């Protein structure tokens, strides 16, 4: 069995280094203070500007110019609400993260089943464990991309992971634990299709 412990696993992906400033336009809902037409007015393009100086009013002063991060959650991908470019950026960042933790792992040459544990704070306690499935997908994809696993089809992965949850007190205590267990079921090892694909591996496994 191979056990891989990943402390302080990735929870957010940086989408941009500096968020763009947003500006109020005619018809937008805005704070009452901006409705004072002695201090603010709309320019020819419909943007809200200061009456003195004509500077556009920033609608997101706290976040403008700061990095933008997205919390990792499989539900956003499943629902289809995430733009393809954002989805690709999230997935690639997760694969790169996992790649660093499996680079010294030996190559898997026969069928494995995978188990997983998630250590994380309870926080509000209103999040679904099954929405974290994206970690499994990216972990296994990273195994294939890094050449640690020939493929992630059923000829090589015969048991998909589902998280077993363990609560911790602090975010810094969070971790993922993956266990890759060599398949030992007769139904798999003695099946003609598996014996054909893993002939050399099965022969070495017998000694």
- Structural domains of the chain ordered from first start: 2-16+73-205 (3.30.1330), 21-66 (no CATH)
Question: What tokens does 19 get?
Answer: 């968020």
Question: What tokens does 96 get?
Answer: 């790169």
Look at residue 191 in the predicted model and tell me its pLDDT.
92
Q: What is the pTM for the complete model shown?
A: 0.76
* E-state strands within the chain: 2-7, 12-16, 40-42, 48-50, 68-71, 112-121, 157-159, 163-168, 175-182
Question: What tokens does 136 get?
Answer: 């499994």
Look at residue 135 in the predicted model and tell me its pLDDT.
96
Look at residue 201 in the predicted model and tell me its pLDDT.
56
From first to last of its 207 residues, the chain has per-residue pLDDT tens of: 999 999 999 999 988 777 788 888 999 988 888 888 889 999 989 999 998 888 888 888 887 777 787 899 888 777 777 788 888 999 999 999 999 999 999 998 889 999 999 999 998 888 999 999 999 999 999 999 999 999 999 999 999 999 999 999 999 999 999 999 999 999 998 999 988 887 765 454 444
Look at residue 207 in the predicted model and tell me its pLDDT.
40
- The H-assigned helical ranges of the chain are 74-79, 84-102, 133-145, 186-189, 192-197, 199-205
Look at residue 203 in the predicted model and tell me its pLDDT.
54
Q: Name the nearest CA neighbour of 112 among 52, 36, 191, 183.
A: 183
Look at residue 133 in the predicted model and tell me its pLDDT.
94
């Amino acid at each position: 069995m191979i056990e891989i412990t990943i402390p302080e696993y990735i929870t957010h992906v940086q989408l941009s280094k500096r968020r763009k400033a947003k500006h109020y336009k005619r018809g937008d809902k805005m704070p009452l203070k901006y409705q004072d037409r002695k201090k603010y007015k709309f320019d020819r393009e419909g943007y809200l500007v200061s009456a003195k100086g004509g500077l556009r009013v920033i609608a997101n002063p706290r976040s403008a110019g700061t990095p933008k991060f997205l919390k990792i959650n499989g539900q956003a991908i499943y629902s289809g609400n995430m733009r393809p470019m954002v989805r690709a950026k999230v997935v690639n960042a997760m694969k790169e993260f996992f790649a660093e933790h499996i680079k010294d792992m030996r190559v898997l040459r026969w069928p494995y089943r995978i188990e997983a544990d998630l250590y994380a704070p309870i926080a509000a306690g209103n999040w679904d464990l099954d929405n974290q499935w994206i970690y499994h997908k990216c972990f296994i994809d990273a195994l294939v991309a890094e050449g640690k696993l020939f493929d992630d089809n059923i000829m090589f992965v015969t048991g998909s992971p589902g998280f077993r949850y363990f609560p911790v007190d602090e975010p810094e205590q969070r971790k993922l634990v993956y266990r890759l267990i060599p398949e030992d079921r007769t139904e798999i090892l003695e099946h003609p299709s598996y014996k054909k694909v893993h002939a050399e591996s099965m022969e070495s496994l017998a000694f």
